[in-house]
Structures are given as C-alpha cells and as structure tokens.
Chains A and B, each alone.
Chain A
Amino acid sequence: MEPRILSHLRALEAESIHILREVVAEFANPVMLYSVGKDSSVMLRLAQKAFFPAKIPFPVLHVDTGYKFKEMYEFRDNLAKELGLNLIVHTNQEALDAGTNPFKLGTQKCCALLKTRALLDALTAGGYDAAFGGARRDEEKSRAKERIYSFRDKFGQWDPKNQRPELWNVYNAKIEKGETIRVFPISNWTELDVWSYIELEKIPIVPLYFAKEREMLVRGNGISPIEHNYPIQIGEKPEMVKVRMRSLGCTYCTGAIRSDAETFPQLMDELVHFKRSERENRIIDHDTEGAMEIKKREGYF
C-alpha cells in the first residue's frame, strides 16, 4: 500500500482549496482577481477543483490598466469562454483618457491610478466583501508578512502592525459593511511550486512565459517590449532577441529576460538556477525601500 502522505504540492493544493471554499461559504459576494499571469492561472484551476462539478461560483475581475500585452488579452478572452467565467474587466478610463502613463507621471503615480485606484473602484462598484488575490508570500518581504485573510478597512487599506491573529486554518471572516477581506489562497506557494503545478496539471498559460524571438528594445541590462508605442529615443532601434517574461505586468514596466527556455523542463531548469528574484524585473517594486509595503497599505494587492 502506498504511504498515505501527500506530496508537498498536493498538500498546498488541499490548503488552497480549503481556503477557497471557506470564503465562498462565509462571504456574501466574493470575487477573484485575475491578472492573466501564472499565479492567477493556478488560482483558477484550484477554484475549478474546489467547486467541481459546479462552475466557479464567483465572478472573476481583471483590473486592466490598458497597457497589458496583446497576447494576454487574447489568452484571457479565450479562457473566459472556455471555462464559462463570469469575467468582469475594469479600467480607470478617466485616468487613461487623461493620458496617464508611466513616462508622464512616473511609475508610482501611474500604478496608483491605473491599478490601486481602479481596483478599489471596481471592488466598491461590485459590492464585493471578499477578493481573492494570487499574491504569494515568497514574492516580496512585506508580502511575507501578510495573513491569508488580510483585513482591509473601508478605504481598502492594510494595517501591517495590527493584523488579526490567524490560528490554524480557522479564519475570522467577520467584517462590517464597507470593510473587506483580501484572501490569498496561494500564500504558501513559491515560484517553483507554481511552475511545478502548472506542469503537473497541464494548466494553460500565456505563451509570453516561454522563450521566443521577440522584437525588443535593449537598453543596457534592460530589455523592454515595444508594444503600446513604447517611446523609442533617437538612435535606438528595436531588435529581435530570444526572451521570455518571468512575471507579467504592464508592457512598459515588465522587463524581459534573455532565455532559451521553450519547454517546461527547460523552464524549470532555468528556475532552479536563477540567482535573482522574479520581481526584479518589475520596475515598480524598487522605486524606494519598502515600496511594496507602502503600496499595499494604500490598497494595492
């Protein structure tokens, strides 16, 4: 007989499914944030498993800055159709119309308007009392401090010095009207776990994660995608480089990495040998010391 001990991936899966069900059972109107990235893809699969044979019993919200990759939009719309998702796309159109972009306002301000503001507005508009996010504690050191049920006040703000104790898997879901809980079902997964699971479960993901010859703008160590009219300076010329994205954000703020990883085994191999963290190429996280903590206090995921 096989020993009855779950592999670490199956143990993580069981924990995440427990969280998803707990939220659906205890909240009136939960929503899942869907960013089209690898973590969201894992979260969706976990939700499918948690509620099988039913469809995913909550809407899926994409906070769209308008600056995502073309391939992400295609992927999102196909997947929504295939899984029969109730997909809600929210954009801070007012800010976009006013010409908000990172070159004009700087990355912090741009993020605050197109991501944080848009997110808070979308949550209020939908009247959601709980919102699932695919953030992981291993991503960044202030995220390592977050509870699975992260309490947010009426303004969506996080108070890291005053978090509710969270014991065992007994989560406190009590809130007043206007307050919300951000829930992180894959808190305990690492980047490697996510990839191992995607491979194990054959979860569809945006092809941008795999290496391919792509048209890029190379500036020193930085390699930038040139979608959405990336401002090219005089003398610069895009070139074809074999790259992939390790983490997907807005095209302006996501740097690509040189890579030959076209398949899963190659990608996993690359991952094991990585010497630098996945958010390193996310410009927004490095503006100032503790940048993520500040954004999170303000309501960012």
Chain B
Amino acid sequence: MSVESQLLRFTTAGSVDDGKSTLIGRLLYEAKGVYEDQLASIQSSSVNRSTGPIDFSLLTDGLRAEREQGITIDVAYRYAATPRRKFIIADTPGHEQYTRNMATGASTADLAIVLIDARKGVLVQSRRHAFITSLLGIRYVAVAVNKMDLVDFREDVFNKIQTEFMAYAKSVGLKNVAFFPISALEGDNITEPSARTPWYKGPSLLDHLESVDLVEARNFTDLRFPVQYVNRPTLDFRGFTGQLASGILRPGQTVMTLPSGRITKVKSLPSYDGDLAEAYPPMSVTVCLEDEVDVSRGDMIVDPNHVPHVSRRFAAKLVWMHETPGEAERDYLLKHTSQTVRAQISRIRHRIDINTLAEQPANKLELNEIASIQVETRRPLFFDPYQQNRITGAFILIDPVTNSTVAAGMIEESTAESLEPLKLGSLEFTGETEATVTPAERYARAGHYPATVWLTARQDLAVLLERKLFDLGCQVHILADDRESHLLPELARVLNNAGLIAICSIASPDPAEAERAARLARDNRFLLVDPQALPVHDEEASEVIMKQLEDRNVLRRKERFEVGEGI
C-alpha cells in the first residue's frame, strides 16, 4: 500500500441478522486485514452462530454483550487496505433500538452497503436505514442481497428484491445504487465473481468499493472555513485555525468574515511544514488575514461572492436519538460546525412514516423517529442546505440538563424571519416565508446590513443622517408619518427585509411602539437613539449615530468601496 492511496469511508446498513458483521468479517479476512492470533481467538471462541467453521461476525462484534446476545449493539470501526484504496469501515447495528449508533457510523460515510436477507426481502428496518442513508447524504449505495446460498443463488429472488428496493430508493432520492448477489458466509461475489451466480455479470463488491469516484464529491467553489480556534502565541501572530469544509484558500484571496461581514484578504497560510500556496478540503489549516479583524471561534470565513445563508430560523430534517421525546419550545443546545448556541424546535412540521413516507402530524418526537421541523436559534448560524454541504448543513442537538446528544439534524433551507406573517393594514407579507434571497446575499450586494434607527423629535437630524448614509453608498429611507406612527415598526421591517436602513423619525416619544419595532427588527440591527444622550448639534449627533451603526457592524466606512468591487 502506498502513501498516496485514497481513503474511502463506508458503512453497513440493514435489518438485524442480515449478515452485516459477517460480511465485514469476511471482507477483512479476504483483504488480509485479520491477524492469525485474532482469527485463532474467534475460532476458539465459545460462540459460533454461523453454519460455517468461522463465525466472521465475531471479528467486529467486540463487546461481550454483543457476543453473548449475537447482535451488534454499537458501531465497530475496522480498517482494510488494498493496493488501490484504504478503507475505514463502520459496521453498524441493525436492531431498531440502536438506530442512533447506525446513524453515528453512517454520518461520515461516502458509501453505504445496505444488506438484505435474500429470504426475507426488503424489511421495515431495511427501509429505515435506506432512508437514513439518503438523509445523511451518502453518495453511493451498494445493496448486498445476502445469504444467496440459502435461496440456491436464484436470479429471480435477486431480481425481485432489486425491483422492490429500487422503488423505495427512488422515492427517498437515493442515487448511485448498485446491487450484488452475495453470500457473506461462503464468500460469493465478495472479492471475486462467483461461479454460483453465472447470471450475474457485474463486478464483485470489493471491485466496486475500489472504483467509486471520490473526487467528484468535493466542493472546491464555495469557501466555507469555520473558525475553530484562534492561535495567538505572540502579539503579532493571529492565526485562525480550522478544517476547510469546502472551497479553496490561497494567499491574496478576498474573503468575508461572518458574522461581522468584513471584507479582507488572506495574508498567508502558515504551517509546520512551511507556508502553503493553497489549501483545499478536508485540510486542517491556519489562516492569517491582512487586516486586524475581530474573528473568534464560531465565526466563518467565506467567499464574499457565494455567501452561506445567515439566519436564526431554518427548516431541517431530524433523527431523534434519545429515549426522552423531543418537544417543541424546549431549550436545547445546538452545535453546528464550531459554534454552540441555544435553540428550540419552534415547530414540528410532521413526522415521516418510514414505510410509506407519509407525513403525519406529531407533537413529540420519539426515539428513532424522523421528522421535518423548524428550528430557531438564539444567534444566527451560517449554513448551507445539507444536501449541498455535509459540514455546514449538519448539526446536533444536546440536552442542556443531561448533556446527552439527542438528535442529528440536516438543514434544508432558511425560512421565515418572523413566525406569524407580517401584517400591514390589510396587506399580509406572506412572501417572507418563501424567501430564498438571504440576508447575507442582500448584504453582499448592498455592502451593509439593514438596520432600523429609531429617532425621536429630531426631524432635521433624520434628514442629515439619511443624506450622509446615502452619500456613503447605503440604501436608506426615512419613515416619518406622525398620523400613522403605529405602522412604522412594520414598515421599517419591510425595508429591513429588503436590505435597507430605515430611519424612523418620530415626533414625540412612544416607548410601546419603539419596543414593538425592536421586536420586529429581530436579527436586523435595531438602534434606539436616546435623545437625552445625543449632542444637540445635528452634525455631531449624526456622527454619534454613524459610529453606533459601525459598532453594530451595520456598515464599515473604511472599506465600503472594496465591498462594491468584490461583488
């Protein structure tokens, strides 16, 4: 095996006793991944549930409880290498009770081998695992129709299972599905074509594992670099460390940091082995930036031309993994790339029936259920839909009381900025919920974030402020309507949604309306200007407000033009 061989991570899936562990044991054995002492130890073992001389499942079922019960409980990781590839294998349990361990093994896999017992056909659990395989975005599926020795290697049995599985695979969106008639126990079509299936013309399972394409799966275009840790050994070195989720990093490249939205350039990519000329996924690197920008763990360095979604609300698919049911409006911790935030399931849209894929109403999520939900987080996340990016689209939920990992989530899309539709008189802005143009995208075009400035009894100042912001290149608009001041919060919100800065100029103080405006502004920066604290001269006062907008990262005076150029 050379240093240059490639890594393929694959997982097993399928119902209990379909022969997953036996298959992996057999593969290891055939790929010379088993040492004599290990083989001797399983040969002399007091248990052998197989009908052959060696119970290969004992090679991966490493826990005593597993050997005693003859089932896999938790995922086992095994390793094998051929001259062409190096494999990291996750052998997962088929038993429904341990679905979370199956999900653990499958989450990092490039390929899943779904086993089906030739005698039993496609079972509920085969479907569940196929569904999870699809949810987790595993690119390749190899369906191993196992125990062909027990059905006399009949082609019609194989074909029937193939047809049935394919129908399900299509409905859950699985791609790249290949079928193999095998006997894990007796070794047919595992490493070499079997003489007992002359009707089967395809490659052996191992051939397939060695040849699926790995390069195509990578995304080199949309830079996503979640900052893990800021390395500051000396005052003049500040390195942002992390593992590239997608895209490419090069010195000199223009990048944007989130959430600040600042634009800067990559200065260098220092490493123990010297400065790098380029970094690509999944490399773990250190990035130094040209400017002194405030970046910390949980922030993300991205491509300003292809920004991720930035939102506190999004829709996701969830696999519930704990005995305590999941409920809406309970507090959880959500860990997404390198940031952990407080979060709630704001709504359970529906639960999905594994068998029929029907969407059913649910107010709780039980162990191993799969559901479509709405999430709301305390701070905004920077994400992409999971099917586009397996790193920036994934999250886990942690119970803040027990610290258990209770769910795995796959983000689908960002949704509604507000939960109830925004109403303006008889107008209802339901369009908000379907928005696909994200705030970050608007930001990228406008060069500033939206904001609402709430200004009381300073009409002239409002006019001056609008002029100054406009001259800076900002999109800004004054809202001043004394008679309809109760509509100002909603109007400001609409302007904010469009990416604008709204200056609400109010004649006399109205704390209730100000409070409502603040609530409606949500993620948008809301600036309640305290008239008492403001200089009397409009010029000075406008500077104070501009400074506050800068402090809130709404705009950046210094780099404004650079932003425009980058887009």
Contact = CB atoms under 8 A, between A and B. Distances in A.
Contacts of A280: 35, 37
B272 interface: yes
Contacts of B248: 4
A8 B7 contact: yes
Contacts of B273: 49
Interface in B212-252: 214-215, 218, 220, 228-229, 231-233, 237, 239, 241-243, 248
Nearest to B58: A141
A165 B104 contact: yes
A166 to B, nearest CB: 5
Interface residues of A, number: 65
A135 B73 CA distance: 21
Contacts of A293: 62-64
Contact of A141 (B4, B59, B101, B214): B59
Interface stretch (A63-71, A156-164, A208-216): A156-164
Contacts of A9: 3
Interface in B268-323: 270-273, 280, 282-284, 286, 297, 321
B129 interface: no
Interface stretch (A94-102, A109-117, A172-180, A250-258): A172-180
B71 to A, nearest CB: 12
Contacts of B328: none
B404 interface: yes
A138 B59 CA distance: 11
A85 to B, nearest CB: 15
A145 B286 CA distance: 32
Interface in B1-32: 1, 3-7
B201 to A, nearest CB: 30
A142 interface: yes
Interface string B142-182: 00000000000000000000000000000000000000000
A7 interface: yes
Interface stretch (A31-39, A52-60, A225-233, A235-243): A52-60
A8 B214 CA distance: 12
B241 A174 contact: no
A145 B405 contact: no
A170 B76 contact: no
Given A11-B282, A161-B74, A144 B62 contact: yes
Contacts of B101: 163, 165
Given A161-B74, A190-B79, A276 B243 contact: no
Interface string B398-431: 1010011100100000000000000000000000
Contacts of A187: 77
A50 B400 CA distance: 30
Contacts, number: 186
A12 interface: yes
Contacts of A21: 228-229, 241-242, 284
B526 interface: no
Nearest to B74: A145
Interface stretch (B114-122, B188-196, B387-395, B516-524): B387-395
Interface in B73-121: 73-79, 81, 86, 88, 100-101, 103-104, 107-108
A222 to B, nearest CB: 14
B357 interface: no
A188 B215 contact: no
A103 B537 CA distance: 90
Contacts of B3: 7-9, 196, 200
Contacts of A168: 107-108, 390-391, 394
A170 B63 contact: no
A220 interface: no
A144 B284 contact: no
A25 B228 contact: yes
B396 interface: yes
B87 to A, nearest CB: 9
A166 B405 contact: yes
A50 B104 CA distance: 25
Interface stretch (B331-339, B448-456, B500-508, B546-554): B331-339
A192 interface: yes
B280 A4 contact: yes
Contacts of B5: 7-8
Contact of A5 (B62, B218, B239, B403): B218
A172 B335 contact: yes
B243 A18 contact: yes
Contacts of A49: 271-273
Contacts of B38: 141, 277
A247 interface: no
Nearest to B99: A165
B338 A174 contact: no
Given A164-B404, A192-B1, A276-B35, A170 B336 contact: yes
Closest 10 CB pairs of A and B: A141-B62, A54-B233, A17-B284, A174-B403, A8-B7, A277-B35, A167-B107, A25-B229, A52-B272, A8-B86
Given A25-B297, A165-B104, A272-B1, 20 more contacts: A7-B4, A8-B3, A15-B284, A18-B228, A21-B242, A25-B228, A25-B229, A49-B271, A50-B284, A53-B231, A53-B233, A138-B79, A144-B77, A145-B74, A161-B65, A167-B396, A168-B107, A169-B243, A172-B403, A188-B77
